[in-house]
């Protein structure tokens, strides 16, 4: 029996989606993870923008047959060292941000800034998060002031 390349891709997508659903892809996001990477609650205005972007991305993915169809996707955004994550919670999202300047000051690690930032991205992907380019990853209030925004 021959399997076409497109059919094989579809089977793999379905199997990965089923695995992530069974494993609970965001089950590893706990207080220890949030503390390690200095995640905190965003400003209210940023929180609203992140939730809107995550919801749009998840709805679009469901519309086009993502393997986790019918479920909200765990997503992350990245911009200039800042990360935002959107964790599915019932029919909505809970969001956190990790500001690069706060991680640099508060993280308890021997890694240099760039290596630690890269490690965070790798860990998010390994936990089943998908990067969404349209999801804001805002600057901290300290950085906004420093840049006169």
147 in any annotated domain = no
The model's pTM:
0.75
55 in any annotated domain = yes
35 in any annotated domain = yes
148 in any annotated domain = no
88 in any annotated domain = yes
Helix, strand, or coil here: 95?
Answer: strand
Q: What is the structure's pLDDT at 12?
A: 67
Number of structural domains, the chain? Answer: 1
Q: What is the structure's pLDDT at 19?
A: 47
Per-residue confidence of the chain (149 residues) as pLDDT tens digits?
Answer: 677 877 766 666 666 555 444 444 444 688 899 999 999 999 999 999 999 999 988 888 766 665 555 678 899 999 999 999 999 988 889 999 999 999 999 988 999 999 999 999 999 999 999 999 999 999 998 888 887 77
With helix as H, strand as E and coil as C, how does 44-80 read?
A: HHHHHHHHHHHHHHHHHHHHCCCCCCCCCCCEEEEEC
145 in any annotated domain = no
> Distance (Å, rounded) from C-alpha 127 to C-alpha 30?
12
32 in any annotated domain = yes
Q: What is the structure's pLDDT at 126?
A: 93
49 in any annotated domain = yes
Helix, strand, or coil here: 19?
Answer: helix
User: For residue 19, what are the domain limits?
Assistant: 5-140
And the tokens for 43?
Answer: 């400003």
Q: What is the structure's pLDDT at 79?
A: 94
């Amino acid at each position: 029996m021959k399997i076409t390349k497109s059919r094989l891709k579809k089977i793999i997508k379905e199997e990965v989606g089923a695995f992530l659903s069974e494993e609970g892809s965001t089950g590893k996001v706990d207080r220890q993870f949030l503390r390690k990477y200095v995640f905190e609650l965003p400003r209210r205005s940023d929180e609203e923008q992140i939730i809107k972007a995550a919801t749009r991305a998840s709805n679009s993915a469901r519309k086009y047959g993502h393997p986790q169809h019918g479920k909200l996707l765990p997503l992350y955004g990245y911009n200039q060292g800042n990360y935002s994550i959107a964790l599915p919670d019932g029919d909505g999202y809970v969001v956190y941000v990790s500001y690069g300047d706060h991680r640099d000051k508060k993280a308890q690690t021997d890694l240099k800034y760039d290596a630690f930032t890269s490690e965070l991205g790798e860990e998010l992907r390994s936990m089943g998060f998908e990067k969404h380019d349209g999801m804001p990853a805002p600057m901290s209030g300290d950085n906004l002031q420093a840049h006169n925004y």
